[in-house]
Structure 1
Amino acid sequence: MPIVCAVAVLAATNLLNNWLARSPALYVVVCVAATAVLLLVARWDGLTRADLGLDAAGLRRGLRWAPVLAGVVLLVVVLLLAVPAGREAFRDSRAADLSVAQVLWVTLVRVPFGTVLLEETAFRGVLWAMIRRRRGTAWATGVSSLLFGLWHLLPSRGINRSNAAVGSLFGDGPAGVAPTVAVAIVATAAAGVVLCELRRRSGSLLAPMALHWAVNGFGYVTAWAAARWWLEG
């Protein structure tokens, strides 16, 4: 029953974020509220802070992992920018059209306190711990990662129009939406497996949070900067 409730909370949140919560501030409010509800469901299910990777020891381990993970992501970004094909991957209108204030909002507020907080608490915290206690680690990783992939079904519908590299692969018209969504679900499910394994190895929810923030945050900043300096013309 608690797992069903957690999935229901996520389903409702996904709909709110993609159909109703158009305001950037409202998006963060919805994510924080959903995170709080999920933590209440976890407590109802008898999970401890250690089960969620949020105990004192887990937090200390996560703080040691965080700068290393962020540094690895930054290095990968720099390497991608060194080649034309890599730079093309950052040609994305969603970031290119942002102002400086909006970029700061996205990277310092929306991503960490909206996207990362909710998704990591949900998929590598609450759901992973619930399923792991009942069926073991492999099931926890597989099911939570599959749900993480499906979570991206709605937000991935317009990627072929906003990202030049994706549009060149699948087309930027209506026919390109279905393959784009399918690939996005598979890719994010695979990313979910990596994040779950990071959660397991580190013993901390902060480690996947740090990696998730670094990928999204550096991605937005790089796409915004690339549109102005490296991809002009």
Structure 2
Amino acid sequence: MFAASLALVLAGWNNLVIPALPGTTTVYVGVNLAATALLLAAARAVGLSWAELGLDRRRWAAGARWGGAAAGVVATGYAVALAVPSLRPLLEDERLAGLPGGALAVQVLVRIPLGTVVWEEVAFRGVLLAALARVLPLPAAAGLAAAVFGVWHVRPTLGALAANDLAGDGAARVLAVLLACLGTAAAGLVFTWLRLRSGSLLAPVLLHLATNCLGALAAAAARRAG
């Protein structure tokens, strides 16, 4: 019951709850951090252990090794894309275009790490995965958690398409959203593999941070490089 309810809540959270709130960074980060704390408390109340949640301190070193290695691969990829002029347009994101340095720093140091990465990793690779693994075989639990992670990205994908003037109306937009959600579901499986391989939530957190934060910096750099 807990696992099914959580899957439904998470499927709607990013698509229904967040859009209804004021769009400021303070609200976004505050609400998601509060949700993180409440979710961890609920997980512990239903008997999920710190180890099941990926938060066993004895696994932090392994998480740092695996996550650091994965983050290094992502950083190298961004560096190569920035170094090759023909690849730079792939990094650009109009949502970050023209942001002054201070606003970009808030995105990279506050909004993304605290409002997005911590919340998503605790919710999906921590609590939801652990709850599902109590009632399903692990491969099925991992697949379902990844599917919900894909659904979580419907609204953000629509926002990105609109901001970057991509995939107009109708079937093209539906296809673009479907492909983006499948892509994020696949990314969720990678994050889950890291979580299970290392035994620590720190591993997917580090990869997620590198993907999103370095991606924002790379987009800004690509824009300025022309």
TM over 0.5: yes
Q: Which whole-Å deviations, capped at 9, do the CAs of 1:161-208 have from their partners, x for residues lacking one?
A: 3337xx2xxx3x324432221111110001111111111101100000
Structure number with higher relative contact order (C-alpha < 8 Å, ≥ 6 residues apart) = 2
Measure the CA separation in 2 of the matches of 1:8 and 1:38.
14
Q: CA deviation at 1:58?
A: 1.8
Q: Which residue of 1 aligns with 2:216?
A: 220
Note if 1:209 corresponds to 2:205.
yes
Measure the CA separation in 2 of the matches of 1:221 and 1:113.
17
SS at match of 2:154: coil
SS at match of 1:154: helix
| Aligned-pair Cα RMSD in Å | 1.7
The size of the alignment, in residue pairs, is 224
Where does 1:47-196 land on structure 2 (aligned, <5 Å)?
A: 47-163=48-164, 167=166, 171=167, 173-175=168-170, 176-196=172-192
SS at match of 1:34: helix
| Contact 1:62/1:206 (<8 A) preserved | yes
| Contact 2:150/2:181 (<8 A) preserved | yes
**Identity of matched residues, %:** 42
Greater alpha carbon shift after TM alignment, 73-82 vs 143-152? 73-82
Greater alpha carbon shift after TM alignment, 89-98 vs 63-72? 63-72
| Contact 1:95/1:221 (<8 A) preserved | no
Measure the CA separation in 1 of the matches of 2:198 and 2:93.
33
Greater alpha carbon shift after TM alignment, 65-74 vs 19-28? 65-74
Change in CA separation of 1:53 and 1:47 when aligned onto 2, cut-off 3 Å: same
Structure 1 residues not aligned, in runs of 5+: none
Q: Which residue of 1 aligns with 2:4?
A: 4
Where does 1:24-35 land on structure 2 (aligned, <5 Å)?
A: 24-35=25-36
| Contact 1:13/1:31 (<8 A) preserved | no
Aligned partner of 2:101: which letter? Answer: V
Q: Which whole-Å deviations, capped at 9, do the CAs of 1:71-119 have from their partners, x for residues lacking one?
A: 2111011122233442111121111131111111111111111111111
SS at match of 2:155: coil
Q: TM-score, with normalisation over the residues of structure 2?
A: 0.92
Measure the CA separation in 1 of the matches of 2:183 and 2:152.
12
Greater alpha carbon shift after TM alignment, 28-37 vs 80-89? 80-89
Q: CA deviation at 1:11?
A: 4.5
Aligned partner of 1:215: which letter? Answer: T
Measure the CA separation in 1 of the matches of 2:40 and 2:101.
34
| Contact 2:12/2:152 (<8 A) preserved | no
